[in-house]
Amino acid sequence: MSYLELLATLGIGSAHPGGFALTKQLLAHEKLTNESRLLDIGCGTGKTLEYIQQMYDCELNGVDIHPVMVEKAKQRFQEKELNIPIQQGNVEQLTFKDNTFDFILSESVLFFTSMNRALSECARVLKKTGSLLGIEMMALKPLDVFTSEELTKVYGVNHLPTEKEWMTTLTNNGFSHMDVLKRGNVQEARPDESEAPDWMPSAIDDELFSTLQQHQAFLDIHGSSIGYFVFRAKK
C-alpha cells in the first residue's frame, strides 16, 4: 500500500506538516473575503475547505486525484450541509479556465506531483494578482542516496527539493514573487496533540499498519534532514 493510499484509507484530515493549526495560521494572514475564489488542490477529505467555507465564506473548489479522498470529502460536505464543488482530477491537468482563482492552496500536495506540470497549471488558472499558498515538505540539505531511496520506497517520489530548488521550480513555471512565511523541521511540526484527530477510516488491514510503520520509521530516522516551509507565490 502506498503512503497516499494509507492516507485515503484512514481518511486523515490535515495530513500535512503543522496540521490544522498551521493551516489556520496561514489563512489568517491572507485577505480572504466572500468575493475571493479559492481552489484547494489535493484537498484530501476536505477539512480545510470546510473551515474556509465556515470562516470566510469564499467561493470554493476542491480537486483531488484519489477517488476515496473525493468520496470522503463529499461525505463531509453532505453531513455538514456545505455546498462545495469537488472533482476527482489531476492538478497537472486542471479543467478550470485561465485566470480563475484569487488563491490556490497546496497543503503537502505538489511534492507528490510532477512539479513542473502542476505548477504551470497553477500559474495558468491563478489570476494575475492571485496567490499560490503552500505548506510543503523540503529537504533541509540535498538528501544522500540512502535517504533518497527510502523516500522513494515510502512516499513513491523520486526527489525531495531543497528550498532553493523549490524557488527555481516556482520561477521556471510562472511565479516571480515568493515569500517564505515559515520554515522548520518536520519532527517539530507534528500535529498539535491538543487538536482532535480528524479521521474518516475505511476498512483497516495489516498492510495498512506496515505502511504506517514505514512512514513513522522514515520520520524517526531521516526526520532531521526533512523540513517544511510555508510560502506565498505570486505571478
Ligand X SMILES: C[S@@+](CC[C@H](N)C(=O)[O-])C[C@H]1O[C@@H](n2cnc3c(N)ncnc32)[C@H](O)[C@@H]1O
187: DSSP letter: G
CB nearer ligand X, residue 129 or residue 158:
158
Q: How deeply is 63 buried, as exposed, middle or buried, from its count of CB atoms within 10 A (0-12, 13-18, 19+)?
A: buried
Closer CB to ligand X, 102 or 107, in the complex:
107
Query: Which one of residues 65, 137, 140, 189 is an interface residue with ligand X (CB under 6 A)?
Result: 65
Q: What one-character DSSP code corresponds to residue 142?
A: P
Q: How far is the CB of 134 from ligand X (least distance, A)?
A: 10
Residue 190 cell numbers, joined: 507534528
Element containing residue 170 per DSSP (H, E): helix 163-172
Gap between the Cα atoms of 130 and 176, Å rounded: 12
Give yes or no for a contact between 211 and 8, defined as CB atoms under 8 angstroms apart.
no
Asked if 90 is part of the footprint of ligand X (rule: CB under 6 A), the reply reads: yes
Q: Which stretch binds ligand X (CB under 6 A): 39-47, 154-162, 213-221, 223-231?
A: 39-47
Question: Is residue 222 close enough to count as binding ligand X by CB under 6 A?
Answer: no
Could you tell me if residue 41 is left (phi over 0), alpha (psi between -120 and 50 degrees) or otherwise beta? beta
Does residue 138 contact residue 228 with C-beta atoms inside 8 Å? yes
The piece of 6-14, 54-62, 169-177, 178-186 that touches ligand X (CB under 6 A) is 6-14
Instruction: Give the range of 35-43, 125-133, 154-162, 185-193 binding ligand X by CB under 6 A.
Output: 35-43
Q: How far is the CB of 77 from ligand X (least distance, A)?
A: 15
Q: Which residues pair with 226 in a beta bridge?
A: 139
**Contact between 13 and ligand X per CB under 6 A:** yes
Shortest Cβ 163–ligand X spacing (Å): 19
In the block, residue with C-alpha cell 530516522: 221
Nearest to 75 by CA among 107, 41, 50, 109: 50
Touching ligand X, residues 93-152 (CB under 6 A) = 107-109, 112-113
* Count of residues that interact with ligand X, criterion CB under 6 A: 23
* Residue at 164: amino acid letter: K
Q: Which of 30, 32, 59, 66 binds ligand X (CB under 6 A)?
A: 66
**44 contacts ligand X (rule: CB under 6 A):** yes
Main-chain phi, psi angles of 184, to 5 degrees: -175, -170
Task: Based on the shown chain and the rule CB under 6 A, indicate whether residue 16 belongs to the binding site for ligand X.
Answer: yes
Q: Which residues bind ligand X (CB under 6 A)?
A: 4, 7, 13-16, 41-44, 63-66, 69, 90-92, 107-109, 112-113
